[in-house]
Amino acid sequence: MPSSPLGPTTVTVLGAGAMGSAITTPLVDAGHRVRLWGTHLDDHLIDAVRAGRPHPRTGCVLPESVQIFRHPELAAALAGAPVVVVAVSSVGVWDVASWAAPHLDRAAAVWLTSKGFAPDDQGLIQLLPQTVSRALARGGARDLPVVAVGGPCKANEVAARQPTAPLFALPEGAQAWAESASTAAYRVAHSADRDGVEICAALKNVYAIALGMADGLGEVGPQPWHDLKSAIFVQSLVELRCLLQAEGCDPWTALGLAGAGDLEVTGLSGRNKVFGSRLGRGQSVEQALDQMAALEQTVEGVPAVRLARTWIEQRQPALVGRLPLLEAIAAVVHDGAAIERVIAAALPATLVAA
């Protein structure tokens, strides 16, 4: 197996869900010693992989060399690990980073695959790398670089060693970390635009809900709604680019792997797209969420759109009213609006009089 430019090292992955388990495969292939730790919600997943069965969410067996740890074994899982990967849902990022903080004496970096927003103690909405840094500082850990992992990398495809194009983002040093994880299949690109990558990573889940609505509408009628889906895709990128520019990020990030690339794959499959398609088929928000929760499918875009709306009000009030698709998705998901609001927001505004 190839060695990374930083040398083979120990990597501990926190979170045994789909992406947490999946990323163990390229990390092993890149020559690292890999540990996988599960939260208290992951016991049944840990049972499956410890027994050598395929992971219930990816359908793939983990590499034999991966060491498996349960929730009470966090200190052992982190002991001496230079790289720690946080791979839990956005709502769990603060807790997991806080629990990990006292055990990071040998850590050189934290990699973050989680996507979304989180409020701080004063109710200000932050991107997740800032949340991780704040939790580590609160727990007494020294300042560590937090590498954002974005781009089109579906967990089942990562686990199956299919060609994947993730993106590692950090203001300085992203290339070295990207090269340390890259394999023939898991081909990691790099970027200095961490905030831009994180904004895209969080909001692509939101916009994928609207893409799913178009698919759902097509499933219940005689014709597909491909034109609408295309218009939604374009409007999503327009709004992402507008947000990045306002935040001082690189607007081209919206058109690269973190933006257009990740939005494309999320709109083809994934939980947010599936949730949107349920709405397009006529289910209520509550029905769709209940049925997906029964399948252990978390829809990250639902809390993300509410937090995104508040984040924009706090940081970019001049953009309120200028992101019609984002606002329409929030209205459908949280305010009881009909999906026709999304359709109207995605289509060009110009009307030709008869």
**Strand (E) or helix (H) holding 146:** strand 146-150
Q: Are residues 84 and 225 in the same domain?
A: no
**CA torsion angle for 261, 129, 19, 48 (degrees, to 10)?**
-170
Query: Does residue 282 sit within a domain?
Result: yes
Residue 135's Cβ-count burial label (10 Å; 0-12, 13-18, 19+) is buried
Q: Are residues 87 and 213 in the same domain?
A: no
What is the reported pLDDT for 40? 94
Q: Which of 163, 192, 221 is the last residue of a domain?
A: 192
Q: Are residues 81 and 210 in the same domain?
A: no
Residue with tokens 């990022």: 93
3-state SS of 314-348? Answer: HHCHHHCCCCHHHHHHHHHHHHCCCCHHHHHHHCC
The Cα angle at residue 82 between residues 80 and 83, in degrees rounded to 5: 125
DSSP H helices in the chain: 18-29, 43-50, 74-78, 93-100, 128-138, 155-159, 174-181, 194-219, 226-246, 262-268, 271-280, 285-294, 301-315, 324-335, 340-346
Mean pLDDT of 346-354: 68
DSSP for 219-231, written as a single string: HTSSS--HHHHHH
Q: What is the pLDDT of residues 151-190, one digit of tens each?
A: 999 999 999 999 999 999 999 999 999 999 999 999 999 9
**Active-site pick, 115, 154, 204, 229:** 204
Domain count, the chain: 2
Query: Does residue 56 sit within a domain?
Result: yes
Query: Does residue 234 sit within a domain?
Result: yes
What is the reported pLDDT for 353? 53
Q: Are residues 94 and 228 in the same domain?
A: no
Q: What is the CATH number of the domain that holds 21?
A: 3.40.50.720
Average pLDDT, the chain: 95
Q: What is the pLDDT of residues 233-257, one digit of tens each?
A: 999 999 999 999 999 999 999 999 9
What is the reported pLDDT for 51? 95
Q: Which of 172, 192, 212 is the last residue of a domain?
A: 192
Q: What is the pLDDT of residues 94-125, one digit of tens each?
A: 999 999 999 999 999 999 999 999 999 999 99
Q: Are residues 219 and 146 in the same domain?
A: no
* Structural domain containing residue 102: 10-192
Q: Are residues 295 and 212 in the same domain?
A: yes
Q: Are residues 22 and 127 in the same domain?
A: yes
pLDDT category at 1 given cuts 50, 70, 90 is very low
Q: What is the pLDDT of residues 261-271, one digit of tens each?
A: 999 999 998 89
Q: What is the distance between the alpha carbons of residues 237 and 240, in angstroms, rounded to a whole number?
A: 5
What is the reported pLDDT for 351? 52
Q: What is the CATH number of the domain that holds 287?
A: 1.10.1040.10
Among 3-12, 66-75, 117-126, 134-143, where is mean pLDDT lowest? Answer: 3-12
Q: What is the distance between the alpha carbons of residues 175 and 343, in angstroms, rounded to a whole number?
A: 40
Query: Does residue 5 sit within a domain?
Result: no
Query: Does residue 351 sit within a domain?
Result: no
Q: Are residues 108 and 22 in the same domain?
A: yes
Query: Does residue 3 sit within a domain?
Result: no
Query: Does residue 108 sit within a domain?
Result: yes
Q: What is the pLDDT of residues 309-325, one digit of tens each?
A: 999 999 999 999 999 99
| Residues paired with 56 in a beta bridge | none
Higher pLDDT, 231 or 297: 231
Query: Does residue 211 sit within a domain?
Result: yes
Its pTM stands at 0.94
Q: Are residues 172 and 201 in the same domain?
A: no
Q: Are residues 211 and 67 in the same domain?
A: no
Q: Are residues 330 and 236 in the same domain?
A: yes
- 204 is an active site residue: yes
Coil, helix or strand at residue 119: strand
Mean pLDDT of 122-146: 96
Q: Are residues 334 and 298 in the same domain?
A: yes
Q: Which of 150, 174, 192 is the last residue of a domain?
A: 192
What is the reported pLDDT for 161? 98
